[in-house]
Structure 1
Amino acid sequence: MSGLFEGKVAVVTGGASGIGLASARALLEEGAQVVLVDRDAAALEALTAELGEACIAQRTDLLDAESCAAMVPEILAKTGRIDILHCNAGSYIGGALTDTTPEAIERMIGLNVTAVMKNVHAVIPHMAERGSGDIMVTCSVAGHTAVGPEPVYSGSKWAITSFVQTMRRQLMKDGIRVGQVSPGPVDSALLSDWEPERLAKLKEDGALMEASAVAEAVVFALSRPRTVTIRDVVILPSNFDI
């Protein structure tokens, strides 16, 4: 551990599993105090017990308007500051548009897009007042190219790419850096909705990454000098053909 984030408070949404948990572990290893945000109270309790006093649980349902609005104030009441906000929570819908439902589409857009915008909106006054902060968003390679089997998911990530890059420009004057990490497929629960044949083929070909590889990219971006912004990190399995 080199203590890159010693004395800093990092908030990670969707922090109880996958990329969020891997990022939380990596930030803890570099000395940050980490607030794990998730709706799974049992998972949060187990993880904070495992990860130690530097890890704080924040039970928030990002799809519940009141719970989402309360997230930043509740965290500030616990920690007094937020130096890093990693908006990582998300969900996935694959397959033809006609194979899903309006309810599933609304839920995914709510988590992948609306909640991100709300969380960023909520943290800006605090970071701007201090004149410093980092906002990192988990996007996807699907936010850079139209992925045929993923019209809803890819659409949500294109929206996030636009949002992140617009906010990067808006918040430069406030000393707030905004960037995103755009991974290819990661071996995590997010892919549980993938077509079984497609997932099996990717695993067989070694075309899936571990979440820890994405976490390393997050740490790299956040640890650059304040004069440098990593606007986006596209990170792919070497055998992923897209």
Structure 2
Amino acid sequence: MAELLNGKVAAVTGAASGIGLATTEALIAQGASVVMVDRDAAALAKITERLGDKAIAQVTDLLDAASCAAMVPEILAKTGRIDILHCNAGTYIGGDLTETDTATIDRMLNLNVNAVMKNVRDVIPHMIERKTGDIVVTCSVAGHMPIQWEPVYSGSKWAITCFVQTMRRQLNKHGIRVGQVSPGPVVSALLADWPADRLQAAKDSGSLIEPTEVSDAIIYMLTRSRNVTIRDMVVLPTNFDI
């Protein structure tokens, strides 16, 4: 397959595992260099050694205000430009609202919503100056319908759907494409707090997808002609019943 993103520079948050890692590997396979953003320095060191020169480590804690604010400037100091920003880092809370605590709610909203808005805000001047760029955000099918067993998570993803689609309209006149990918349940650490019986039942019924199936969708979005924007791709397990 041709390297359709040859020479592009991408930044992927939450890149040390799950969808972020799968997207990193897919981008590199298409010829891009990828700045892997994660707070886990040890994991980044191992992964970048395995992936080679096209993988660049960027240790950032998106929940730390100073570290989050420094992310884009530090990436630009390393690479000189950002062609693609994939805001992927996130966390999950399931269960009834009263089963969690307010500190955990704050952490989720800060990572799933606030950090995304900050990262996008920080990269916009650079992309506007260059009159080109792609911003992709990992959303969720939970951002399209009220999921009663995950009200905080679903609420955060509804907020992201609104944010992405408003920014798409703000930035398209500058040559910047903005879109989101909305997966159903993905085999990843985000499902760690699912009840064991529910998780096993989902696996047994074929109601989970792999991170690579999400990264395939992201590559499709990024490799369309510049006159085409894929505003959202909903990627579901065939047997997912919702």
Tell whether 2:20 aligns with 1:20: yes
Tell whether 2:102 aligns with 1:97: no
Q: Which residue of 2 aligns with 1:135?
A: 135
Tell whether 2:170 aligns with 1:186: no
Task: State the shift of 1:193 in Å.
Answer: 1.2
TM-score w.r.t. length of structure 1: 0.99
Work out the number of aligned pairs and report it: 242
Aligned counterparts of 2:154 and 2:10: Cα–Cα separation in 1:
27
Q: Which residue of 2 aligns with 1:31?
A: 31
Q: Which residue of 1 aligns with 2:240?
A: 240
Task: State the shift of 1:222 in Å.
Answer: 0.7
Structure 2, unaligned runs of 5 or more: none
Q: Which residue of 1 aligns with 2:7?
A: 7
Tell whether 2:63 aligns with 1:56: no
Structure 1, unaligned runs of 5 or more: none
Q: Which residue of 2 aligns with 1:170?
A: 170
Q: Which deviates further from its counterpart, 187-196 or 120-129?
A: 187-196
Aligned counterparts of 1:108 and 1:65: Cα–Cα separation in 2:
15
Look up the SS of the partner of 1:233 in the other structure: strand
Look up the SS of the partner of 1:203 in the other structure: helix
Look up the SS of the partner of 2:118 in the other structure: helix
1:80-95 aligned within 5 A: 80-95=80-95
> What amino acid is the match of 1:33?
S
Aligned counterparts of 1:25 and 1:65: Cα–Cα separation in 2:
28
TM-score w.r.t. length of structure 2: 0.99
Q: Which residue of 2 aligns with 1:214?
A: 214
Q: Deviations over 1:183-226 (max 9, x none)?
A: 00001111001122211110111100010000000000011000
Q: Which residue of 1 aligns with 2:145?
A: 145
Aligned counterparts of 1:194 and 1:233: Cα–Cα separation in 2:
24
Aligned counterparts of 2:106 and 2:196: Cα–Cα separation in 1:
24
> What amino acid is the match of 2:129?
E
Q: Which residue of 1 aligns with 2:123?
A: 123
Aligned counterparts of 1:195 and 1:124: Cα–Cα separation in 2:
40
Runs of 4+ in 1 over 6 A off after TM superposition: none
> What amino acid is the match of 1:215?
S
Q: Which residue of 1 aligns with 2:196?
A: 196
Aligned counterparts of 1:156 and 1:196: Cα–Cα separation in 2:
24
